[in-house]
Amino acid sequence: MISRGLFRGILCRRLGIGTVVAVGTVALESPAVVLEGLLYLGDSAALETIHAEYENMAPPTPLPPMLAVSGDVPEGDQWVYDWKWDGVRAIVGIEGGEVRVHSRALRDITSRYPELQELAAATRARLLLDGEIVALDEQGRPDFDRLQSRMQVGLPTPRMLRESPLYYYVLDLLVADGENLCGSSYRHRRDRLAELGLPAPPTIRPPDPHARISGSGLLDIAAEHGFEGIMAKRLDSPYRPGVRSTDWINTPLRIRQEVVIGGWVPGRSRHAGTLGTLLLGAYDPSGALSYIGHVETGRPDPSSEALLGKLEALTRPSSPFATPVPRRRARHARWVEPELVGEVEHRRWTNDRTLWRPSWQGLRTDREPAEVTLPV
């Protein structure tokens, strides 16, 4: 077995097709490149030796995360609850000072979230963690709008790290020092996680699940404090990588909002000529119709065909909204007189006063457009 020092001293850099430099004393660029180089050279003995050493040195291989189903809150002693954090799922591997972060789709996103390197100093164990990267508002509540400013940045600047701090909520332990814990119960995995003593305030946060409160009671608290919803997990459930399981139940909070229809966008491709998207508004205190977002109407059916007939009868040449409609929506919009009221369900209001993930519920013929106002 080669020493770790010698392994780290091997450099395998491709200088061109068929050219490999295999030995040197400079810093290792990538263990994976070393393996590729030895494979090219046909040195099978060295390849097996280094591969074994690499497997012991590198963070555990990431696993696709277990997923929840949506449903009503389950009750009973076999369930525990946590908040829905409204963040980015992150599978994090740790080994010997190296931290690797992978997305739900197992893309390497390590460079996007350098804050998580604090985990290297928090433990000497070789771990694979499941959790969520979260941004918080001034009240300590998850704020997806703030998180979005970081999600598409490949390498954040020091200023961005100061102004848009993120936090990693460690929710599960999948591998610990070579032991795969996926077959163990959630209760056992959480106990092992607690034994690690991982908290590294303020960035690394392993929250405790709520076990001494009813699920419905916690959902009421979530609504009161502006959380997205709650997650219920069975205490005896194993971790099933990549599987959507009824052992985890996601209960999002949904808010109903009346809306005024100010325009629509036709469907595309095989749905051309049908109703695709509705452009929505609500009146501000001055009586101006503010654009608050769009909603898909779903597959064509008799109700959407009837709604399309009503909209075509209300056609007007210009937008009825007093505030701008995003260009990608306005480009193909058919504007209508703001005379029809509908209702949507959504998760929350964004910082720019638009609906977050709305779903169309139907027309409200019992409401007048002037009754539809922006929330205070």
The two tokens of residue 1 are 């077995």
Distances (CA, A) of 239 to 123, 180, 280: 23, 10, 41
Question: What residues are paired with 56 via a beta bridge?
Answer: none
What tens digit of pLDDT does each residue of 31-73 get? 444 444 444 445 555 544 544 444 455 789 999 999 998 888 9
Q: What is the pLDDT of residue 28?
A: 35
The two tokens of residue 305 are 């065909």
Rounded distance, CA 133 to CA 185, Å? 24
What tens digit of pLDDT does each residue of 193-209 get? 999 988 777 889 888 88
**Which CATH superfamily groups domain 67-252?**
DNA ligase/mRNA capping enzyme (3.30.470.30)
Catalytic residue positions, numbered: 84
> Domain residues of the chain, as ranges?
4-57, 67-252, 255-371
Rounded distance, CA 88 to CA 65, Å? 12
What's the CATH architecture for 255-371? Beta Barrel (2.40)
Fold match between 67-252 and 255-371? no
Q: Which residues of 196-206 are buried (b: 16+ CB within 10 A; e: fewer)?
A: bebebeebbbb
Among residues 350, 343, 335, which one has the least CA distance to residue 292?
A: 350
Q: What is the pLDDT of residue 51?
A: 42
Q: What is the pLDDT of residue 140?
A: 85
Q: What is the pLDDT of residue 93?
A: 96
SS3 sequence, 254-320? Answer: CEEEEEEEEEEEECCHHHCCCEEEEEEEEECCCCCEEEEEEEECCCCCHHHHHHHHHHHCCECCCCC
Rounded distance, CA 309 to CA 275, Å? 10
pLDDT by 10s per residue, the chain, length 376: 333 333 333 333 322 222 233 333 233 333 444 444 444 445 555 544 544 444 455 789 999 999 998 888 999 999 999 998 888 899 999 998 899 999 988 999 999 999 999 999 888 899 999 999 999 988 888 887 788 778 878 899 999 999 889 999 999 999 999 899 999 999 999 999 999 988 777 889 888 888 878 888 998 898 888 788 999 999 999 999 999 999 999 998 877 889 999 999 998 766 667 798 999 999 999 999 999 999 998 777 788 888 999 999 999 999 999 999 999 999 999 999 999 999 998 878 888 899 988 999 888 887 889 989 998 7
Q: Tell me whether strands 67-70 and 244-252 are parallel, antiparallel or unpaired.
A: parallel
Q: What is the pLDDT of residue 56?
A: 53
Other C-beta atoms closer than 10 Å to the C-beta of 138 total 6
Q: Phi and psi (nearest 5°) for 11? A: -120, 130
Segments of the chain assigned E as strands? 13-16, 19-21, 67-70, 79-83, 88-95, 98-102, 127-134, 167-176, 179-180, 204-205, 229-234, 244-252, 255-266, 275-283, 289-296, 334-335, 341-346, 348-349, 355-356, 359-363
